[in-house]
Amino acid sequence: MTNRRNFIKKAGLITAGAAGASTLAAPAVIGQSMIKWRMQTYAGASLGAHVIKPAIDAFNKAANGEMEVELFFADQLVPTGELFRAMQKGTIDAVQSDDDSMASPTEVTVFGGYFPFASRYSLDVPVLFNQYGLKEIWETEYAKVGVKHISAGAWDPCHFATKKPIRSLADLKGLRVFTFPTAGRFLTQFGVVPVTLPWEDIEVALQTGELDGVAWSGITEDYTVGWADVTDYFLTNNISGAWAGSFYANMDRWNELPEHLRTMLQLAMDSSHYYRQWWYWGGEAALRVNGTKMKLTSIPDDEWAQVETAARKFWDEIAAESETKAKVVQIFKDYNDVMDKAGRPYRYT
């Protein structure tokens, strides 16, 4: 009987101790501080409402209190040209941008945004990254500078939206245009004058005449952000079939995340890439046909061929700058060769 009493007493103490431990441990888990990140996109608020906010809202909901990403739009925390440095230093945790706009100090920066004629359609970009080796090159280059390259995706093609009509290459001469650094570098040979301004100042600059146009997007963005209200013409020829941009994170912040949160962020960013694929693809066609704000103009194909020829020469000039750049350019050449030989529907000419 004495042994039974001692057993019961000990069992009770063990049970009570276990219950107490459970009770004490619970607040530590519940009260654990939420992981908070700050992310800035290069897109303004009206565009960001489509191309990034839904994905971040979904992530924050799915994270269920474990993590929250606070989203900032173009130039809200730092100017777009300083995004890379701010992320590298940890001032902000993550970025959605192209390499070119945020001035990243890597060998692949020149290929971000709109590298002339590197792609014809938006699906070219994810195929180049995931099947032709660009993903591994980008990851390697950014790891060297303390940044995690998470994933790349496509946006819209690059067209001119202008105050005056463009119907020949001669009409490009003297045009003051807001565009991407590398696109501007390429277009100067046709007389275009690239102008750099904060993104939110573009609409006013078009109204005041400081700018003659933009070569920053397709027609979907022109309508979404208000540029279609202050330009009169849309050139159907484009210098690239799709913008190439990515999600990036400060490497230390990324490595600190538990694996399941990294996976959730990756899924959210993939959903952003997918959204843009169909939103732009449908929007570009629908607004060309049904849009009422801009008149469509075109440069004849035989004349525009001069621009495409100049782009291939530009590729070779870039390739001569470094071994890594040469490797990327060769991938573009190999890929386009396959697409050309595959024929319809991959390439029509």
CATH number for the domain whose boundaries are 158-242+291-342: 3.40.190.170
Taking the CA atoms of residue 263, residue 118, residue 79 and residue 141 in that order, the dihedral angle to the nearest 10 degrees is 60
pLDDT of residue 173: 98
pLDDT of residue 24: 39
pLDDT of residue 9: 46
Give the residue range(s) of CATH 3.40.190.170 domains in the chain. Answer: 34-154+243-283, 158-242+291-342
Whether the Cβ atoms of residue 107 and residue 322 lie closer than 8 Å to each other: yes
Tell me the Ramachandran region of residue 333: left when phi exceeds 0, alpha when psi lies from -120 to 50, beta otherwise: alpha
73, 115, 66, 111: which is closest to 95 by C-alpha? 73
Q: Are strands 233-240 and 158-162 parallel, antiparallel or unpaired?
A: antiparallel
Per-residue burial over 240-271, b = 16 or more CB atoms within 10 Å of its CB, e = otherwise: bbbbbbbbbbbbebbeebeeebbebbeebbbe
Whether the Cβ atoms of residue 38 and residue 72 lie closer than 8 Å to each other: yes
Q: Please state, as a whole number, how many other Cβ atoms lie within 10 Å of the Cβ of residue 303.
A: 14
175, 155, 154: which is closest to 235 by C-alpha? 175
Return d(Cα 25, Cα 10) in angstroms, integer: 22
CATH topology of domain 34-154+243-283: D-Maltodextrin-Binding Protein; domain 2 (3.40.190)
Q: How do the pLDDT tens digits run along the chain, 349 residues long?
A: 444 444 344 444 444 444 444 443 333 344 469 999 999 999 999 999 999 999 999 999 999 999 999 999 999 999 999 999 999 999 999 999 999 999 999 999 999 999 999 999 999 999 999 999 999 999 999 999 999 999 999 999 999 999 999 999 999 999 999 999 999 999 999 999 999 998 889 999 999 999 999 999 999 999 999 999 999 999 999 999 999 999 999 999 999 999 999 999 999 999 999 999 999 999 999 999 999 999 999 999 999 999 999 999 999 999 999 999 999 999 999 999 999 999 999 997 6
pLDDT of residue 4: 41
Longest dimension (CA), the chain: 108
pLDDT digits (tens, 9 = 90+) for 287-336: 999 999 999 999 999 999 999 999 999 999 999 999 999 999 999 999 99
SS (H, E, C) the chain: CHHHHHHHHHHHHHHHHHHHHHHHHHHHHHCCCCEEEEEEECCCHHHHHHHCHHHHHHHHHHHCCCEEEEEECCCCCCCHHHHHHHHHHCCCCEEEECCCCCCCCCCCHHHCECCCCCCCCCCHHHHHHHHCCHHHHHHHHHHCCCEEEEEEEECCCEEEEECCCCCCHHHHCCCEEEECHHHHHHHHHHCCEEECCCHHHHHHHHHHCCCCEEEEECHHHHHHHCHHHCCCEEEEEEEECCCEEEEEEEHHHHHHCCHHHHHHHHHHHHHHHHHHHHHHHHHHHHHHHHCCCCEEECCCHHHHHHHHHHHHHHHHHHHCCCHHHHHHHHHHHHHHHHHHHHCCCCCCC
Q: First vs last Cα of the chain: how many Å apart?
A: 96
Whether the Cβ atoms of residue 248 and residue 123 lie closer than 8 Å to each other: no
pLDDT digits (tens, 9 = 90+) for 106-126: 999 999 999 999 999 999 999
pLDDT of residue 348: 78
Whether the Cβ atoms of residue 87 and residue 95 lie closer than 8 Å to each other: yes
70, 82, 83: which is closest to 37 by C-alpha? 70
pLDDT of residue 155: 95
Whether the Cβ atoms of residue 231 and residue 165 lie closer than 8 Å to each other: no
Q: What is the pTM of this model?
A: 0.88
Whether the Cβ atoms of residue 153 and residue 170 lie closer than 8 Å to each other: no
Whether the Cβ atoms of residue 90 and residue 250 lie closer than 8 Å to each other: yes
